[in-house]
Amino acid sequence: MKKTMMMAAMAVLLSTGTATAQKLAQAQVPSVIVNSFQKSFAKAYDIKWEMDGSLYKVEFETGMLGDDHDAWYDATGKIVRHKEDIAQSDLPAKVSATIASQYSGYAVDDVDRVTEGSSTSYKVELKKPHDKWKVVFDSEGKVLSKIAD
Amino acid sequence: MKLLNQSLKHLSISMLVIVSLWSVVFYVVMISEIKESIDEGLENYKRIIVFNATTDSTVLSKTDFDAANYTVQAIGKDAALRVKDSYIDTIIYMQDADDEAPELEPVRLFTTAFENNGSYYQLRIINSMMEEDDLKEDLFWAVLALYLILVVSIIAINNVLLRRLWKPFYNLLNQLTSYRLGSGHKFPTVETDTKEFKDLQAAVNTLLQHGTESYEQQKQFIENASHELQTPLAISINKMELLLEKGNIPDAEATQLGEILESIERLTRLNKSLLLLSKIDNKQYLNNQPVTLNDVVKQVATQLEDLAEYKQVSISIDESATLIIHIDPALANIIISNLLKNAITYNVQGGNIHVVIATHQVSVSNTGSTEALDAARIFNRFYKAHNNSKGTGLGLAIVKAISQLYGHTLSYSFTEGRHLFRIAFKTR
Amino acid sequence: MKILVVEDERDLMEAIVASLQREQYVVETASTLTAATDKASIYEYDCILLDIGLPDGSGLQLLQELKQLGKAENVIIISAKDSLDDKLTGLELGADDYLTKPFHIAELNARVKAVLRRKTLNGKNAIELGNVVLDLNDRLLNVNQQPVTLNRKEFDVLSYFMLNRKRLVTKTALAEHVWGDNIDQADNLDFIYYQIKNLRKKLQTAGAEIEIEAVYGIGYKLIEL
B350-376 pLDDT, tens digit each: 999 999 999 999 999 999 988 888 888
User: How close is the nearest chain C Cα to the Cα of B303, in Å?
Assistant: 5
Q: Given an 8 Å threshold on Cβ–Cβ distance, is B235 in contact with C11?
A: yes
Among B47, B86, B115, whose Cβ lies nearest the Cβ of A32? B115
User: How close is the nearest chain B Cα to the Cα of C44, in Å?
Assistant: 27
C159-213 pLDDT, tens digit each: 999 999 899 999 889 988 988 766 655 556 788 888 899 999 999 999 999 999 9
Chains contacting C (3 or more CB pairs within 8 Å): B
Q: Taking chain A (149 residues) in consecutive chunks of 10 residues, what is each chunk's mean pLDDT?
A: 54 48 84 89 90 90 88 89 89 88 85 89 88 87 84
Across B75-87, average pLDDT: 88
What is the span of the domain harbouring residue A90?
23-148
User: Chain C partners of B273 at a C-beta cutoff of 8 Å?
Assistant: 185
Among C80, C102, C153, whose Cβ lies nearest the Cβ of B306? C153
Across B32-37, average pLDDT: 90
More confident residue, B135 or B299: B299
ipTM of the prediction:
0.89
Interface test with B, best of C187, C199, C222 (most B CBs within 10 A): C187
Q: Which pLDDT score is estimated for C123?
A: 62
Identify residue B312 by its one-letter amino acid code: Q
Which of C133, C178, C113, C190 minimizes the C-alpha distance to C151? C178
Q: Which has the minimum average pLDDT: A42-46, B70-74, B391-395?
A: B391-395
Question: What are the structural domain ranges in chain B?
Answer: 3-142, 195-281, 289-424
Question: Crossing angle of helices B195-246/B251-281, nearest 10°?
Answer: 150
Q: ∠ at Cα B315 (B312, B320), nearest 5°?
A: 165
Question: Crossing angle of helices C59-68/C33-42, nearest 10°?
Answer: 20
Q: Is A14 within a domain?
A: no
The enclosing H or E element of B272 equals helix B251-281
CATH number of the domain at A77, please.
3.10.450.360
User: Chain B partners of C157 at a C-beta cutoff of 8 Å?
Assistant: none
Q: Which pLDDT score is estimated for C185?
A: 54
Q: Which pLDDT score is estimated for A19?
A: 46
Interface test with B, best of A28, A33, A35, A49 (most B CBs within 10 A): A35
| B358 vs B365: CA distance, rounded Å | 14
Among B227, B257, B261, whose Cβ lies nearest the Cβ of C81? B227
Q: Is A11 within a domain?
A: no
The enclosing H or E element of B112 equals strand B103-116
Q: What percent of chain C has pLDDT over 70?
A: 92
Domains assigned to chain C: 2-120 (3.40.50.2300), 123-224 (1.10.10.10)
Q: Which pLDDT score is estimated for C17?
A: 95
Mean pLDDT of chain B: 87
Among B242, B251, B304, whose Cβ lies nearest the Cβ of C105? B242
Q: According to CATH, what is the number of the domain B195-281?
A: 1.10.287
More confident residue, B116 or C142: C142
Which of B116, B208, C22, B330 minimizes the C-alpha distance to A39? B116
Q: Residue C76 pLDDT > 90, yes or no? A: yes
pTM assigned to the model: 0.61
| B268 vs B265: CA distance, rounded Å | 5
Q: Do domains B195-281 and B289-424 have the same CATH topology?
A: no
Q: What percent of chain B has pLDDT over 90?
A: 32
B99 pLDDT band, cuts 50/70/90, is: low
Q: Which pLDDT score is estimated for B275?
A: 86
Chains contacting B (3 or more CB pairs within 8 Å): A, C
C86-142 pLDDT, tens digit each: 677 777 787 888 888 899 999 999 999 988 887 776 667 888 899 999 998 889 999
Q: According to CATH, what is the number of the domain B289-424?
A: 3.30.565.10
Q: Which pLDDT score is estimated for B366?
A: 95
Q: Residue B67 pLDDT > 80, yes or no? A: no
User: How close is the nearest chain B Cα to the Cα of A14, in Å?
Assistant: 30
Across B205-211, average pLDDT: 91
More confident residue, B326 or A66: B326
The total number of structural domains in chain A stands at 1
| B74 vs B138: CA distance, rounded Å | 42
CA-to-CA dists, residue B213 to A90, B93, B202, B220, B225, angstroms: 104, 92, 16, 10, 18
